[in-house]
Amino acid sequence: MVGEERVSTGVPNLDKLIGGGFKQGSVNIVAGKPGSGKSIFAMQFLVDGLKRGEGCIYISFEERKKKVFEDFREFGWDLEQYERTGLLKFLENTPEQIRRVVADGGGTLEVIATQIGAKRVVIDSISSFSMLFQNDSNKRGASLALFEIISKWGCTTLLTSNAENEDGIDLDFEVDGVIFLHHQMIKNSRERSLEVIKMRGTDIPNKIMKMDLDKKGITINPSKAVSL
């Protein structure tokens, strides 16, 4: 069951627009094109939890730990420190390994989650996991089984999804929340923006909002609407 307690997204100005953050125990997607800021959003969500002393798990299908730690050091996020203290567990898994975890009902992943008292989980990206399955029915069944395993630990989950537009988002009907990051050419320059497409049980803003990305991470400006 998804509770009414809220978990901060870690993105300045966003929580107050979605009822205080993600619902505790919910499964959410941040989607967009390559380079739109999905992985930064996801790590910012985890870092917010780490700063609060919460156990966090980052499951990467595409990037190695050393590169991820180096890349995010630019934002002032010392992920090695959190790993040393036992709050952060970085897992370099293949999609096939996660499929076996689902078949085992949690297996080693559940042991890790219990050991660190995990509260937040990021899977980067769910698109890679979905590619294992040849038809939508199998993909949906395996994904729902994975979400159920994680949710029973009481974790709030954020998935990244590669999508050219909102119609191409994997598993959007199966999750509780969907956020889309736009990175469009507007008047001869690239402009970033954020759109909350779906958030179950939550009033959401009916507009696309300007998003900034700098050395401190992602922020949004709700007062500035963007027309695509």
What is 178-217 written as a DSSP string?
EEEEEEEEETTEEEEEEEEEEETTS---SS-EEEEEETTE
What's the DSSP call for residue 167?
G
- 55-59, 91-95, 162-166: lowest mean pLDDT where? 91-95
Q: How confident is the model at residue 154 (pLDDT cuts 50, 70, 90)?
A: confident
42 touches 122 (CB < 8 A):
yes
Distances from the Cα of 46 to the Cα of 9, 10, 141, 149, angstroms: 8, 8, 27, 19
**Residue 215, beta-bridge partner list:** none
CA distance 220 to 16: 12
pLDDT digits (tens, 9 = 90+) for 17-29: 999 999 999 999 9
> What are the tens digits of pLDDT across the range 105-129?
677 788 888 899 999 999 887 877 7
Can you tell me the distance from the alpha carbon of 31 to that of 10, in angstroms, rounded to the nearest whole number? 17
What lies within 8 Å, CB to CB, of 66 at 6+ separation is none
Q: Which of 26-35, 163-172, 205-214 has the lowest mean pLDDT?
A: 163-172
Average pLDDT over every residue of 183-206: 87
The pLDDT assigned to 228 comes to: 63
Domain extents for the chain?
6-225
Q: Indicate the pTM of the whole model.
A: 0.90
Q: Which CATH class is domain 6-225?
A: alpha beta
